[in-house]
Amino acid sequence: MRARAFWVAAPGKGELREEILRPPEDGEALVRAVVSGVSRGTEALVFQGRVPPSQREAMRAPFQEGRFPAPVKYGYASVGIVESGPPGLLGRRVFALYPHQDRYVVPVDALHSIPDDVPDGRAALAANMETAVNALWDARPTAGDRIAVVGAGTVGSLVAGLAARIPGAEVELVDVDPGRSAIAAALGCRFALPEAASPGADLVIHASGTPEGLASALRLAGFEATVLELSWYGDRPVAAPLGEAFHAQRLVLRASQVGHVPADRRARWSRARRLAFALRLLSDPVFDRLLTSEGSFEDLPATMQRLAEAPDGTLCHLVRYV
């Protein structure tokens, strides 16, 4: 059987390549992709060849082929239907941390069943939702906290939406795009432009992917508050204003990354359990608001170039295979 996959052929250039699939063996399944999601921040850096040499092994996706910077087959948000495999999985909708490809063979333990009340498009947010869950575990917000989330991209919006469900929490979503105010309201949050955001937060979560956003996050943190850094900058140097009130405020700047379950949960929470939880959280239709564009698999090479080079307000872009 033939399959086609999206490859970064060279930095800034993508193409669809054909390959031959072998039949699934015992313990494997053949999946036909229905949709996949573009994780815009990370995938733009990969597309542009901006994964630094020191992080190339750490940044490998579970079923990546090739090596950074290129050629490389990358991605981790595929939703599909099992066409061949164990009887209990046949015809089932599944999520896999697999690159953009129309058919693929994977071990069955790499497949995660999608709840019946989560439609295909929303299920493509599972990897981003998993990142948001891990961020809140790292951040440890508590009831009644004043929480600022800087950066209303896909991950930032998911974090804000989850944080707004904490009893008594006051969540402010901060972004340079005033058009994100409607999303903030739907998620149960206030919205503010950076210059109008409320200072003195108990917790600040930064997800804008820009040095300016990090500066805003540090400015908004209250005395002895934590600033959780979710952004990944690739090979870009970042200047943080640690010479201003950072020391006087006794701030904590902490990194969060989805590659590891936080230490205090690691003995009980596997990655599979965490991803299953993320999928259940996507039963809420409010998260459909983060699916802001879609296009065909055929158009993905041109789409990735556009998303990487000319930010246009897109949050999650869905790739459709049928």
Full pLDDT tens readout for the chain, 322 residues = 899 999 999 999 999 999 999 999 999 999 999 999 998 889 999 999 999 999 999 899 999 999 999 999 999 999 999 999 999 999 999 999 999 999 999 999 999 999 999 999 999 999 999 999 999 999 999 999 999 999 999 999 999 999 999 999 999 999 999 999 999 999 999 999 999 999 999 999 999 999 999 999 999 999 999 999 999 888 888 989 998 889 999 999 999 999 999 999 999 999 999 999 999 999 999 999 999 999 999 999 999 999 998 767 899 999 999 8
Count of C-beta atoms within a 10 Å radius of residue 105: 17
Q: Which of 238, 255, 272 is the last residue of a domain?
A: 255
Q: Residue 148 maps to which CATH number?
A: 3.40.50.720
Residue 84 placed within a domain: yes
Which strand ranges, in their side-by-side order, compose the sheet holding 2-10?
13-20, 2-10, 72-73, 65-66
Q: Answer yes or no: are the C-beta atoms of 61 and 6 closer than 8 Å.
A: no
Q: Are residues 116 and 148 in the same domain?
A: no
Q: How many domains does the chain have?
A: 2
Predicted structure pTM score: 0.95
Q: Are residues 147 and 120 in the same domain?
A: no
Q: Residue 298 maps to which CATH number?
A: 3.90.180.10
Residue 158, domain extent: 131-255
As to burial, measured by CB atoms within 10 angstroms (0-12 exposed, 13-18 middle, 19+ buried), residue 211 is middle
Q: Is 54 helix (H, G, I), strand (E, B) or coil?
A: helix
Q: Are residues 150 and 239 in the same domain?
A: yes
Residue 276 placed within a domain: no
Residue 263 placed within a domain: no
